[in-house]
Structure 1
């Protein structure tokens, strides 16, 4: 099968690699329908993170189940599924409390920029998409593999509730998905901090009521001005830190 492999900074190649097979009874192998380049992939590509030898690329994916292990009961061949970049059993205490990326048995799912992907802990990791998803919805479903879930987690961790005022720091894919999450959870006012006009437009389309382009103390002052000196009920930062992937840093002041 064809797959991307990063050999060194700015040296990424499409190579022929073996098709993955079921290794554990809880595995599934899927045929990839769509995958993408995550912003965190670029840290390795640009040489910010160390690359220890040839590394298969990608961790966001949607595909059709080809084969499952003997202990997989919730997923079957032929189903269209969306998977997470961390495999989780969805039964351990951390999963039961809603922290699947902290699963006691978690495994990172890499190598998704390929024609086939092996997914461990398939019952807890893969979500069946019911019915026949039209091709036009595939990109949106792919967002659920990473960025939408991360943005949703930030909003849930901040305990956003109807009527709240929230501030989202960061206008990348995760930040924009957090705007959607805040809207869906009923936030009345959503302040997006953004300095990029195309992303400001998207933030507005997704539910942002205000845009703040200022940063630092000026940005904080602008938010206080917009909220009558009170500030936001919840603030979360969804931006990249040097050498790290995008992780939500959430402050709830409800």
Structure 2
């Protein structure tokens, strides 16, 4: 049996094609009918030709939907349950899952291949008990709540990881570098953790206005050294907690420059070109700045963030500024690539 899914056909080319529908392959698997998913900023790297990816290959990694079928060993979810899943699968039982580092799970992996990229009608969730997060029945059909939950599959958990990695806590002053979906969620995360002052740095006035609605106390729209000087003025020499949410050399070096001596940069931007373009290691060294972070173990944060969404104290859904159906996914990529949308919601 086939399904329809987004397929990467090379830089600038996303096609909607008929592909084999995933089926149970192991007793720990579940098959999920996707009702909500999204296009991620990291999907744009291969789309822009800045990251190698197999051609053709299914794409997407932020699924939410209804469980259709489960293997005989699955215990935590059942057919008919509403679930969402982080951008990697994880067993929940290995050494790394037990320490909250689900992205290093020895049995897990990324969505794609025969499991189905999440920008499609179905996915197979391997290690369903360790991967899938069940949405309580009373919220399972509340569309506003579901759209607030969907960012927990990636960007909200990633923004939270940036804040945690930077050491943000009650009373902190912090700087968020980047006004994309992850940076905006980083602002939400910093507010959630009790930061007293949150400075958002970016290049788009509309996004910085959203950052203010999310809790940013100051915004900086300047570029280059002007932006660094403004941040240092606002913080009297830099912040102890800086969140790098872009993944470029420029953003990382900016984060280092605006970090106070002895402070911490929490980085979650997927690195592109940083190893080749001159990361300011000397700046880290001279000011005893700690660098902490990496790929976000979203599953480790999912339960606590879900509780806040369901409790009405956390709502990252405004990051979705465009909604498309499956046929509209290619247009969604174009809109995000051209900065016409912050993040695109997909409803297959």
Tell me which residue corresponds to 1:58: 60
Structure 1 residue 251, shift from structure 2 partner: 4.1
Tell me which residue corresponds to 2:270: 247
Distance in 2 (alpha carbons) for counterparts of 1:99 and 1:215: 35
8 Å Cα contact 2:82/2:134 also seen in 1:
yes
Distance in 2 (alpha carbons) for counterparts of 1:11 and 1:205: 35
Tell me which residue corresponds to 1:124: 130
Once superposed, what is the RMSD of the aligned Cα atoms?
2.0
Count of residue pairs brought into register by the alignment: 249
Distance in 2 (alpha carbons) for counterparts of 1:94 and 1:216: 39
Any residues of structure 2 matched to 1:209-220 within 5 Å, and which?
Answer: 209-220=217-228
Any residues of structure 2 matched to 1:76-91 within 5 Å, and which?
Answer: 76-91=78-93
8 Å Cα contact 1:85/1:146 also seen in 2:
yes
Q: Does 2:193 align with 1:188? A: no
**Runs of 4 or more off by more than 6 Å in structure 1?**
none
Tell me which residue corresponds to 2:147: 139
Tell me which residue corresponds to 1:25: 27
Any residues of structure 2 matched to 1:154-233 within 5 Å, and which?
Answer: 154-229=162-237, 231-233=238-240
Any residues of structure 2 matched to 1:27-106 within 5 Å, and which?
Answer: 27-106=29-108
Tell me which residue corresponds to 2:307: none
Instruction: Give a deviation string over 1:199-249, Cα, whole Å, max 9, x none.
Output: 0110000010011223444333322211233x212112100439xx94389
Distance in 2 (alpha carbons) for counterparts of 1:75 and 1:153: 26
8 Å Cα contact 1:84/1:109 also seen in 2:
no
Q: Which consecutive residues of structure 2, in runs of 5 or more, have no partner in the other structure?
A: 250-267, 275-289, 293-348
8 Å Cα contact 1:88/1:121 also seen in 2:
yes
Q: Secondary structure at the match of 1:17?
A: strand
Distance in 2 (alpha carbons) for counterparts of 1:114 and 1:73: 25
8 Å Cα contact 1:9/1:51 also seen in 2:
no
Distance in 1 (alpha carbons) for counterparts of 2:235 and 2:14: 47
Structure 1 residue 48, shift from structure 2 partner: 2.1
Distance in 1 (alpha carbons) for counterparts of 2:48 and 2:231: 34
Please state which structure has a larger fraction of its residues in helix: 2
- TM-score, scaled to structure 2: 0.67
Structure 1 residue 113, shift from structure 2 partner: 1.0
Instruction: Give a deviation string over 1:64-100, Cα, whole Å, max 9, x none.
Output: 1111112211111111111011111122222222221
Q: Which consecutive residues of structure 1, in runs of 5 or more, have no partner in the other structure?
A: none
Distance in 2 (alpha carbons) for counterparts of 1:152 and 1:167: 14
Distance in 2 (alpha carbons) for counterparts of 1:97 and 1:38: 27
Structure 1 residue 25, shift from structure 2 partner: 1.6
Distance in 2 (alpha carbons) for counterparts of 1:251 and 1:191: 19
